[in-house]
Protein backbone atom coordinates (compact mmCIF):
# COMPACT_ATOMS: atom_id res chain seq x y z
CA UNK A 1 0.00 0.00 0.00
CA UNK A 2 1.23 3.52 -0.67
CA UNK A 3 2.06 5.67 2.32
CA UNK A 4 -0.65 8.07 3.33
CA UNK A 5 -0.31 11.80 2.93
CA UNK A 6 -1.66 14.07 5.64
CA UNK A 7 -2.56 17.75 5.62
CA UNK A 8 0.15 20.25 6.51
CA UNK A 9 0.39 20.79 10.26
CA UNK A 10 -1.83 23.64 11.44
CA UNK A 11 -3.93 23.56 8.27
CA UNK A 12 -7.41 22.12 8.74
CA UNK A 13 -9.91 20.31 6.58
CA UNK A 14 -13.40 21.65 7.10
CA UNK A 15 -15.79 18.75 6.71
CA UNK A 16 -19.49 18.04 7.25
CA UNK A 17 -21.24 18.60 9.57
CA UNK A 18 -18.92 21.46 10.58
CA UNK A 19 -18.80 22.84 7.04
CA UNK A 20 -22.52 23.63 7.26
CA UNK A 21 -21.76 26.11 10.03
CA UNK A 22 -19.23 27.80 7.76
CA UNK A 23 -21.80 28.14 4.98
CA UNK A 24 -24.34 29.45 7.45
CA UNK A 25 -21.87 32.07 8.72
CA UNK A 26 -20.84 33.08 5.21
CA UNK A 27 -24.49 33.57 4.25
CA UNK A 28 -25.03 35.74 7.33
CA UNK A 29 -21.97 37.80 6.41
CA UNK A 30 -23.06 38.38 2.80
CA UNK A 31 -26.51 39.42 3.93
CA UNK A 32 -25.15 41.77 6.61
CA UNK A 33 -22.64 43.36 4.24
CA UNK A 34 -25.33 43.93 1.62
CA UNK A 35 -27.50 45.65 4.24
CA UNK A 36 -24.62 48.00 5.04
CA UNK A 37 -23.73 48.58 1.36
CA UNK A 38 -20.28 46.97 1.62
CA UNK A 39 -19.07 45.23 -1.52
CA UNK A 40 -16.98 42.10 -1.91
CA UNK A 41 -13.33 42.11 -3.01
CA UNK A 42 -11.20 39.04 -3.74
CA UNK A 43 -7.49 39.53 -4.05
CA UNK A 44 -4.85 36.86 -4.81
CA UNK A 45 -3.63 34.56 -2.04
CA UNK A 46 -0.06 35.00 -3.30
CA UNK A 47 1.41 38.50 -3.36
CA UNK A 48 4.91 39.95 -3.75
CA UNK A 49 6.75 39.57 -0.43
CA UNK A 50 7.54 43.30 -0.46
CA UNK A 51 3.82 44.06 -0.07
CA UNK A 52 3.81 42.62 3.43
CA UNK A 53 7.30 43.77 4.41
CA UNK A 54 6.12 47.31 3.71
CA UNK A 55 2.40 46.99 4.30
CA UNK A 56 2.31 44.77 7.38
CA UNK A 57 5.56 46.16 8.75
CA UNK A 58 9.10 44.88 9.07
CA UNK A 59 9.04 44.90 12.86
CA UNK A 60 5.81 42.93 13.29
CA UNK A 61 5.67 39.29 14.42
CA UNK A 62 4.06 38.46 11.10
CA UNK A 63 6.94 39.69 8.96
CA UNK A 64 9.69 38.79 11.41
CA UNK A 65 8.76 35.16 11.79
CA UNK A 66 5.35 34.07 10.50
CA UNK A 67 5.34 34.41 6.72
CA UNK A 68 5.29 31.59 4.20
CA UNK A 69 7.67 33.12 1.67
CA UNK A 70 9.26 31.47 -1.31
CA UNK A 71 10.99 32.22 -4.54
CA UNK A 72 9.09 31.59 -7.75
CA UNK A 73 11.08 28.76 -9.34
CA UNK A 74 10.45 30.02 -12.81
CA UNK A 75 11.27 33.69 -12.60
CA UNK A 76 12.89 34.22 -9.22
CA UNK A 77 10.17 36.57 -7.87
CA UNK A 78 9.93 36.75 -4.07
CA UNK A 79 6.39 35.73 -3.15
CA UNK A 80 4.40 35.22 0.05
CA UNK A 81 1.13 33.52 0.96
CA UNK A 82 -0.92 36.38 2.37
CA UNK A 83 -0.79 36.54 6.19
CA UNK A 84 -3.53 39.19 6.17
CA UNK A 85 -5.67 40.86 3.51
CA UNK A 86 -5.43 44.58 4.21
CA UNK A 87 -2.20 45.13 2.22
CA UNK A 88 -3.68 43.20 -0.72
CA UNK A 89 -6.86 45.29 -0.65
CA UNK A 90 -4.88 48.54 -0.54
CA UNK A 91 -2.56 47.34 -3.31
CA UNK A 92 -5.58 46.52 -5.47
CA UNK A 93 -7.20 49.87 -4.66
CA UNK A 94 -4.05 51.72 -5.75
CA UNK A 95 -3.51 49.53 -8.80
CA UNK A 96 -7.08 50.01 -10.05
CA UNK A 97 -7.51 53.56 -8.76
CA UNK A 98 -10.56 52.40 -6.86
CA UNK A 99 -11.15 55.61 -4.93
CA UNK A 100 -10.95 57.99 -7.91
CA UNK A 101 -14.65 58.81 -7.66
CA UNK A 102 -14.98 58.74 -3.89
CA UNK A 103 -14.68 56.44 -0.91
CA UNK A 104 -15.35 52.72 -1.02
CA UNK A 105 -16.72 50.23 1.49
CA UNK A 106 -15.33 46.76 0.93
CA UNK A 107 -15.26 43.33 2.56
CA UNK A 108 -13.46 40.04 2.03
CA UNK A 109 -13.42 36.47 3.32
CA UNK A 110 -10.65 33.98 2.78
CA UNK A 111 -7.60 32.04 3.88
CA UNK A 112 -4.59 33.64 5.52
CA UNK A 113 -1.30 31.89 6.30
CA UNK A 114 0.98 32.41 9.28
CA UNK A 115 3.69 30.07 10.47
CA UNK A 116 2.71 30.04 14.15
CA UNK A 117 2.73 27.29 16.74
CA UNK A 118 -0.60 25.54 16.13
CA UNK A 119 -2.91 25.50 19.15
CA UNK A 120 -6.54 26.12 19.96
CA UNK A 121 -7.67 29.16 17.98
CA UNK A 122 -4.28 29.51 16.29
CA UNK A 123 -3.64 27.78 13.00
CA UNK A 124 -1.22 28.10 10.12
CA UNK A 125 -4.00 28.39 7.60
CA UNK A 126 -7.00 30.23 9.00
CA UNK A 127 -9.86 32.25 7.60
CA UNK A 128 -10.45 35.91 8.07
CA UNK A 129 -13.42 37.99 7.31
CA UNK A 130 -12.62 41.66 7.00
CA UNK A 131 -14.11 45.02 6.19
CA UNK A 132 -12.18 48.02 4.89
CA UNK A 133 -13.43 51.54 4.26
CA UNK A 134 -11.17 53.50 1.93
CA UNK A 135 -11.17 57.23 1.34
CA UNK A 136 -13.06 58.65 4.33
CA UNK A 137 -11.22 60.46 7.14
CA UNK A 138 -14.10 60.96 9.59
CA UNK A 139 -14.75 59.20 12.90
CA UNK A 140 -18.22 58.20 11.70
CA UNK A 141 -16.77 55.46 9.49
CA UNK A 142 -14.64 54.17 12.38
CA UNK A 143 -17.87 53.93 14.37
CA UNK A 144 -19.79 52.42 11.45
CA UNK A 145 -17.20 49.66 11.10
CA UNK A 146 -17.33 48.86 14.80
CA UNK A 147 -21.13 48.83 14.73
CA UNK A 148 -20.90 46.47 11.75
CA UNK A 149 -18.65 44.00 13.62
CA UNK A 150 -20.90 44.24 16.67
CA UNK A 151 -24.00 43.63 14.54
CA UNK A 152 -22.42 40.59 12.91
CA UNK A 153 -21.70 38.96 16.26
CA UNK A 154 -25.23 39.81 17.38
CA UNK A 155 -26.74 38.37 14.17
CA UNK A 156 -24.80 35.17 14.78
CA UNK A 157 -26.31 35.01 18.26
CA UNK A 158 -23.06 35.48 20.19
CA UNK A 159 -22.97 37.06 23.62
CA UNK A 160 -20.34 38.27 26.09
CA UNK A 161 -17.97 39.81 23.60
CA UNK A 162 -16.46 43.05 24.84
CA UNK A 163 -15.10 45.92 22.80
CA UNK A 164 -11.81 47.57 23.71
CA UNK A 165 -10.91 50.85 22.16
CA UNK A 166 -7.93 53.19 22.06
CA UNK A 167 -6.56 56.05 20.02
CA UNK A 168 -3.09 56.17 18.53
CA UNK A 169 -3.45 59.85 17.60
CA UNK A 170 -1.29 61.07 14.75
CA UNK A 171 2.43 60.46 14.08
CA UNK A 172 3.67 63.62 15.83
CA UNK A 173 1.77 62.73 19.00
CA UNK A 174 3.12 59.20 18.86
CA UNK A 175 6.68 60.47 18.50
CA UNK A 176 6.43 62.49 21.70
CA UNK A 177 4.90 59.52 23.50
CA UNK A 178 7.52 57.18 22.07
CA UNK A 179 10.34 59.28 23.47
CA UNK A 180 8.77 59.22 26.91
CA UNK A 181 8.15 55.50 26.58
CA UNK A 182 11.71 54.63 25.56
CA UNK A 183 13.07 56.73 28.44
CA UNK A 184 10.70 54.93 30.83
CA UNK A 185 11.72 51.49 29.56
CA UNK A 186 15.38 52.42 29.79
CA UNK A 187 14.86 53.31 33.43
CA UNK A 188 13.36 49.82 33.89
CA UNK A 189 15.81 48.02 31.60
CA UNK A 190 16.44 45.31 34.19
CA UNK A 191 12.81 44.15 33.83
CA UNK A 192 12.80 43.88 30.03
CA UNK A 193 12.86 40.40 28.53
CA UNK A 194 14.89 39.62 25.41
CA UNK A 195 11.97 40.34 23.10
CA UNK A 196 11.37 43.71 24.73
CA UNK A 197 15.05 44.65 24.62
CA UNK A 198 15.11 43.91 20.94
CA UNK A 199 12.00 46.03 20.39
CA UNK A 200 13.12 48.93 22.59
CA UNK A 201 14.50 50.86 19.65
CA UNK A 202 12.66 49.28 16.73
CA UNK A 203 9.09 49.17 17.99
CA UNK A 204 8.78 50.14 21.67
CA UNK A 205 4.99 50.50 21.46
CA UNK A 206 4.77 46.76 20.93
CA UNK A 207 6.37 46.17 24.33
CA UNK A 208 3.08 47.38 25.81
CA UNK A 209 1.52 44.37 24.12
CA UNK A 210 3.71 41.85 25.99
CA UNK A 211 2.14 38.76 27.47
CA UNK A 212 5.08 38.19 29.85
CA UNK A 213 3.58 38.17 33.39
CA UNK A 214 6.85 39.42 34.91
CA UNK A 215 6.57 42.64 32.90
CA UNK A 216 2.88 43.39 33.48
CA UNK A 217 3.23 45.70 36.44
CA UNK A 218 6.00 47.75 34.86
CA UNK A 219 4.09 47.99 31.59
CA UNK A 220 0.87 49.01 33.36
CA UNK A 221 2.61 52.06 34.79
CA UNK A 222 4.25 53.15 31.52
CA UNK A 223 3.40 56.54 29.97
CA UNK A 224 0.09 56.40 28.13
CA UNK A 225 -0.35 57.59 24.59
CA UNK A 226 -3.77 59.00 25.51
CA UNK A 227 -2.01 61.64 27.60
CA UNK A 228 -0.12 62.83 24.54
CA UNK A 229 -3.12 63.35 22.26
CA UNK A 230 -3.97 66.83 21.05
CA UNK A 231 -7.42 68.33 20.77
CA UNK A 232 -8.22 67.05 17.27
CA UNK A 233 -7.27 63.48 18.08
CA UNK A 234 -9.28 63.54 21.30
CA UNK A 235 -12.25 64.88 19.41
CA UNK A 236 -11.98 62.04 16.88
CA UNK A 237 -11.92 59.49 19.72
CA UNK A 238 -14.80 61.09 21.59
CA UNK A 239 -16.95 61.18 18.47
CA UNK A 240 -16.40 57.47 17.93
CA UNK A 241 -17.33 56.82 21.55
CA UNK A 242 -20.46 58.96 21.33
CA UNK A 243 -21.64 57.18 18.18
CA UNK A 244 -21.00 53.76 19.72
CA UNK A 245 -23.07 54.82 22.72
CA UNK A 246 -25.86 56.02 20.46
CA UNK A 247 -25.88 52.63 18.68
CA UNK A 248 -25.84 50.65 21.91
CA UNK A 249 -22.33 49.22 21.48
CA UNK A 250 -20.66 49.09 24.91
CA UNK A 251 -16.91 49.83 24.92
CA UNK A 252 -14.03 50.35 27.31
CA UNK A 253 -10.78 52.19 26.72
CA UNK A 254 -7.68 50.03 26.87
CA UNK A 255 -4.71 52.38 26.84
CA UNK A 256 -2.38 49.47 26.12
CA UNK A 257 -4.10 48.50 22.91
CA UNK A 258 -1.50 49.45 20.32
CA UNK A 259 -0.26 48.84 16.84
CA UNK A 260 3.34 49.84 16.64
CA UNK A 261 3.44 51.09 13.09
CA UNK A 262 3.59 54.61 11.81
CA UNK A 263 0.85 54.24 9.25
CA UNK A 264 -1.78 53.72 11.95
CA UNK A 265 -3.63 56.69 13.35
CA UNK A 266 -6.53 57.42 15.65
CA UNK A 267 -8.88 54.53 16.31
CA UNK A 268 -7.73 51.02 17.22
CA UNK A 269 -10.05 48.39 18.65
CA UNK A 270 -10.50 44.72 19.45
CA UNK A 271 -13.51 42.49 20.09
CA UNK A 272 -12.58 40.04 22.83
CA UNK A 273 -14.15 37.05 24.56
CA UNK A 274 -12.98 35.43 27.79
CA UNK A 275 -14.41 32.06 26.74
CA UNK A 276 -11.67 30.93 24.36
CA UNK A 277 -8.64 31.00 26.64
CA UNK A 278 -5.57 32.83 25.43
CA UNK A 279 -6.85 33.17 21.86
CA UNK A 280 -9.73 35.43 22.86
CA UNK A 281 -9.38 38.21 20.29
CA UNK A 282 -12.08 37.66 17.70
CA UNK A 283 -11.61 40.84 15.76
CA UNK A 284 -8.95 43.53 15.54
CA UNK A 285 -8.97 46.72 13.59
CA UNK A 286 -8.11 50.34 13.29
CA UNK A 287 -7.44 53.34 11.13
CA UNK A 288 -4.43 53.19 8.83
CA UNK A 289 -4.34 56.59 7.15
CA UNK A 290 -0.66 56.23 6.17
CA UNK A 291 -0.75 52.87 4.40
CA UNK A 292 -1.67 54.00 0.88
CA UNK A 293 1.44 56.21 0.75
CA UNK A 294 3.68 53.45 2.09
CA UNK A 295 2.47 51.25 -0.76
CA UNK A 296 3.09 53.94 -3.37
CA UNK A 297 -0.42 55.38 -3.58
CA UNK A 298 -1.82 58.86 -3.04
CA UNK A 299 -2.51 59.76 0.60
CA UNK A 300 -5.89 58.15 1.31
CA UNK A 301 -7.50 57.76 4.72
CA UNK A 302 -8.63 54.23 5.49
CA UNK A 303 -9.92 52.09 8.34
CA UNK A 304 -10.83 48.44 8.70
CA UNK A 305 -10.96 45.27 10.76
CA UNK A 306 -10.20 41.59 10.43
CA UNK A 307 -12.06 38.81 12.21
CA UNK A 308 -10.90 35.22 12.78
CA UNK A 309 -13.64 32.90 11.51
CA UNK A 310 -12.40 29.76 13.34
CA UNK A 311 -12.53 31.60 16.66
CA UNK A 312 -15.99 32.99 15.97
CA UNK A 313 -17.29 29.52 15.09
CA UNK A 314 -15.66 27.95 18.11
CA UNK A 315 -17.38 30.49 20.35
CA UNK A 316 -20.64 29.87 18.53
CA UNK A 317 -20.50 26.14 19.29
CA UNK A 318 -19.58 26.85 22.91
CA UNK A 319 -22.50 29.23 23.36
CA UNK A 320 -25.16 27.73 21.12
CA UNK A 321 -24.16 24.10 20.63
CA UNK A 322 -23.27 22.21 17.49
CA UNK A 323 -25.42 22.22 14.41
CA UNK A 324 -24.97 20.91 10.89
CA UNK A 325 -26.78 21.12 7.59
CA UNK A 326 -30.54 20.60 7.81
CA UNK A 327 -31.77 17.11 6.86
CA UNK A 328 -33.20 16.65 3.36
CA UNK A 329 -36.95 16.96 2.96
CA UNK A 330 -37.22 13.67 1.12
CA UNK A 331 -35.22 10.48 0.50
CA UNK A 332 -35.79 8.69 -2.80
CA UNK A 333 -36.14 4.93 -2.57
CA UNK A 334 -35.51 3.18 -5.87
CA UNK A 335 -36.15 -0.58 -5.57
CA UNK A 336 -34.71 -1.47 -8.98
CA UNK A 337 -32.20 0.26 -11.22
CA UNK A 338 -34.71 0.09 -14.11
CA UNK A 339 -36.70 2.80 -12.32
CA UNK A 340 -33.83 5.32 -12.39
CA UNK A 341 -34.65 6.87 -15.82
CA UNK A 342 -38.10 7.78 -14.43
CA UNK A 343 -37.00 8.57 -10.87
CA UNK A 344 -34.07 10.87 -11.59
CA UNK A 345 -35.92 13.43 -13.75
CA UNK A 346 -38.74 13.49 -11.18
CA UNK A 347 -36.21 14.29 -8.44
CA UNK A 348 -34.77 17.09 -10.59
CA UNK A 349 -38.26 18.49 -11.03
CA UNK A 350 -38.79 18.48 -7.25
CA UNK A 351 -35.38 20.07 -6.64
CA UNK A 352 -36.22 22.77 -9.16
CA UNK A 353 -39.16 23.63 -6.89
CA UNK A 354 -36.81 23.98 -3.92
CA UNK A 355 -37.32 20.58 -2.30
CA UNK A 356 -34.17 19.10 -0.72
CA UNK A 357 -33.94 15.56 -2.05
CA UNK A 358 -31.40 12.82 -1.40
CA UNK A 359 -31.38 9.87 -3.80
CA UNK A 360 -30.55 6.37 -2.69
CA UNK A 361 -27.38 5.08 -4.34
CA UNK A 362 -26.83 1.40 -5.03
CA UNK A 363 -23.94 -0.86 -4.15
CA UNK A 364 -22.87 -1.67 -7.69
CA UNK A 365 -24.56 -5.08 -7.38
CA UNK A 366 -28.00 -3.55 -7.27
CA UNK A 367 -30.02 -0.90 -5.45
CA UNK A 368 -30.35 -2.89 -2.20
CA UNK A 369 -33.38 -4.28 -0.39
CA UNK A 370 -36.36 -2.10 0.44
CA UNK A 371 -35.61 -2.67 4.11
CA UNK A 372 -32.05 -1.37 3.84
CA UNK A 373 -33.20 1.56 1.71
CA UNK A 374 -35.84 2.53 4.28
CA UNK A 375 -33.16 2.32 6.97
CA UNK A 376 -31.00 4.77 5.00
CA UNK A 377 -34.01 7.02 4.50
CA UNK A 378 -34.60 7.06 8.23
CA UNK A 379 -30.94 7.77 8.95
CA UNK A 380 -30.90 10.70 6.55
CA UNK A 381 -33.36 12.57 8.77
CA UNK A 382 -35.72 13.13 5.82
CA UNK A 383 -39.39 13.65 6.67
CA UNK A 384 -40.62 11.76 3.60
CA UNK A 385 -39.62 8.72 1.58
CA UNK A 386 -40.39 8.79 -2.13
CA UNK A 387 -40.88 5.21 -3.31
CA UNK A 388 -40.32 4.60 -7.01
CA UNK A 389 -41.71 1.03 -7.03
CA UNK A 390 -42.76 -0.82 -10.23
CA UNK A 391 -46.49 -0.83 -9.39
CA UNK A 392 -46.83 2.90 -8.91
CA UNK A 393 -44.49 3.68 -11.82
CA UNK A 394 -46.70 1.54 -14.07
CA UNK A 395 -49.55 4.01 -13.46
CA UNK A 396 -47.30 7.12 -13.60
CA UNK A 397 -47.23 7.64 -9.84
CA UNK A 398 -44.74 7.78 -6.96
CA UNK A 399 -45.57 6.86 -3.36
CA UNK A 400 -44.88 9.50 -0.71
CA UNK A 401 -44.55 8.04 2.77
CA UNK A 402 -44.32 10.11 5.96
CA UNK A 403 -41.33 9.00 8.03
CA UNK A 404 -41.38 11.21 11.05
CA UNK A 405 -44.90 12.17 12.09
CA UNK A 406 -45.68 8.76 13.59
CA UNK A 407 -48.51 8.06 11.12
CA UNK A 408 -46.51 6.42 8.35
CA UNK A 409 -49.24 7.79 6.06
CA UNK A 410 -48.82 7.12 2.35
CA UNK A 411 -50.19 8.95 -0.68
CA UNK A 412 -49.59 8.54 -4.36
CA UNK A 413 -48.59 11.56 -6.45
CA UNK A 414 -48.39 11.94 -10.21
CA UNK A 415 -44.88 11.85 -11.65
CA UNK A 416 -46.02 14.08 -14.47
CA UNK A 417 -46.82 17.10 -12.32
CA UNK A 418 -44.17 17.21 -9.57
CA UNK A 419 -44.38 21.01 -9.38
CA UNK A 420 -48.01 20.74 -8.24
CA UNK A 421 -47.24 18.79 -5.07
CA UNK A 422 -43.60 19.74 -4.38
CA UNK A 423 -44.69 22.17 -1.66
CA UNK A 424 -46.27 19.36 0.39
CA UNK A 425 -42.75 17.99 1.00
CA UNK A 426 -41.25 21.22 2.34
CA UNK A 427 -40.81 21.92 6.03
Q: How many other C-beta atoms lie within 10 A of the C-beta of residue 189?
A: 10
Burial label, 116 (beta-carbon count in 10 A; 0-12, 13-18, 19+)? middle
Specify the residue, 99 or 128, whose C-beta has the smaller distance to ligand ATP: 128
Least distance in angstroms from the C-beta of 128 to ligand ATP: 5
- HEC profile for the chain? CCCCCCCCCCCCCCCCCHHHHHHHHHHHHHHHHHHCCCEECCCCCEEEHHHHHHHHHCCCHHHHHHCCEEECCCCCCEEEECCCCHHHHHHHHHHCCCCCCCCEEEEEEEEEECCCCCECCECCEEEEEEEEEECCCCHHHHHHHHHHHHHHHHHHCCCCCEEEEEECCCHHHHHHHHHHHHHHHHHCHHHCCHHHHHHCCCCHHHHHHCCCHHHHHHHHCCCCHHHHCCHHHHHHHHHHHHHHHHCCCCCEECCCCCCCCCCCEEEEEEEECCCCCCCCEEEEEEECCCHHHHCCCCCCCEEEEEEEHHHHHHHHHHHHCCCCCCCCCEEEECCCHHHHHHHHHHHHHHHHCCCCEEECCCCCCCCCCHHHHHHHHHHHCCCEEEECCHHHHHCCEEEEEECCCCCCCEEEEEHHHHHHHHHHHCC
Could you tell me if 401 and 409 are in contact, meaning their C-beta atoms sit under 8 angstroms apart?
yes
Specify the residue, 124 or 360, whose C-beta has the smaller distance to ligand ATP: 124
Specify the residue, 9 or 238, whose C-beta has the smaller distance to ligand ATP: 9
- Residue 373, annotated as binding a ligand: no
Specify the residue, 121 or 223, whose C-beta has the smaller distance to ligand ATP: 121
159-218: which residues touch ligand ATP (CB under 6 A)?
none
Tell me, by CB under 6 A, how many residues bind ligand ATP: 18
Instruction: Candidates 116, 195, 262, 392: give the one binding ligand ATP (CB under 6 A).
Output: 116
Specify the residue, 65 or 235, whose C-beta has the smaller distance to ligand ATP: 65
**Among 97-105, 140-148, 278-286, 331-339, the segment contacting ligand ATP (CB under 6 A):** 278-286
Instruction: Candidates 104, 114, 177, 413: give the one binding ligand ATP (CB under 6 A).
Output: 114
115 is an interface residue for ligand ATP by CB under 6 A: no
Q: Give me the residue whose beta carbon is nearest to ligand ATP.
A: 308
Instruction: Candidates 132, 142, 173, 310: give the one binding ligand ATP (CB under 6 A).
Output: 310
- For residue 244, CA distances in Å to 23, 51, 139, 241, 257 come to 30, 33, 11, 5, 18
Instruction: Candidates 69, 239, 281, 319: give the one binding ligand ATP (CB under 6 A).
Output: 281
Specify the residue, 99 or 267, whose C-beta has the smaller distance to ligand ATP: 267
Specify the residue, 130 or 297, whose C-beta has the smaller distance to ligand ATP: 130
- Residue 132, annotated as binding a ligand: yes
52-91: which residues touch ligand ATP (CB under 6 A)?
84
| 169 alpha-carbon distance from chain centroid | 28
Least distance in angstroms from the C-beta of 283 to ligand ATP: 6
371-410: which residues touch ligand ATP (CB under 6 A)?
none
Instruction: Candidates 55, 284, 286, 328: give the one binding ligand ATP (CB under 6 A).
Output: 284
**DSSP codes joined into one string, 202-267:** T-GGGGGG---GGGHHHHHTSPPGGGG--HHHHHHHHHHHHHHHHTT---EE-TT-----TT-EEE
- Residue 264, annotated as binding a ligand: yes
Specify the residue, 134 or 276, whose C-beta has the smaller distance to ligand ATP: 276
Instruction: Candidates 279, 319, 380, 412: give the one binding ligand ATP (CB under 6 A).
Output: 279
Instruction: Candidates 139, 306, 328, 335: give the one binding ligand ATP (CB under 6 A).
Output: 306
**Among 121-129, 185-193, 196-204, 218-226, the segment contacting ligand ATP (CB under 6 A):** 121-129
Specify the residue, 255 or 344, whose C-beta has the smaller distance to ligand ATP: 255
**Among 93-101, 116-124, 163-171, 410-418, the segment contacting ligand ATP (CB under 6 A):** 116-124
Instruction: Candidates 28, 122, 351, 356: give the one binding ligand ATP (CB under 6 A).
Output: 122
Least distance in angstroms from the C-beta of 122 to ligand ATP: 4
Which backbone phi and psi does 29 adopt, to 5 degrees? Answer: -65, -50
- Residue 38, annotated as binding a ligand: no
283 is an interface residue for ligand ATP by CB under 6 A: yes
Specify the residue, 260 or 335, whose C-beta has the smaller distance to ligand ATP: 260
Residues that bind ligand ATP (CB under 6 A): 84, 114, 116, 121-123, 126, 128, 279, 281-284, 306-308, 310-311
Binding residues: 84-86, 114, 128, 132, 259, 263-264
Amino acid sequence: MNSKINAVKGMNDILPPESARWEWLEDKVRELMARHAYRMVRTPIVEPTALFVRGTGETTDIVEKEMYSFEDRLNGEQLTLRPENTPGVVRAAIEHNLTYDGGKRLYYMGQMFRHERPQRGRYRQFYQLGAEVLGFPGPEVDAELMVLAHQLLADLGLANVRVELNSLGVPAERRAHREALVAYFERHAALLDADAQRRLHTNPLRILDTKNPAMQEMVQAAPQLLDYLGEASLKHLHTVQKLLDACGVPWTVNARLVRGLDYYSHTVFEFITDELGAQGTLCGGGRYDGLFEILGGKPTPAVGWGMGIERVLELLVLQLGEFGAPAPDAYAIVPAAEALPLAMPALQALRAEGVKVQMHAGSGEGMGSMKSQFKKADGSGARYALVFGPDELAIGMVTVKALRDGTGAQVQRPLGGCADWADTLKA
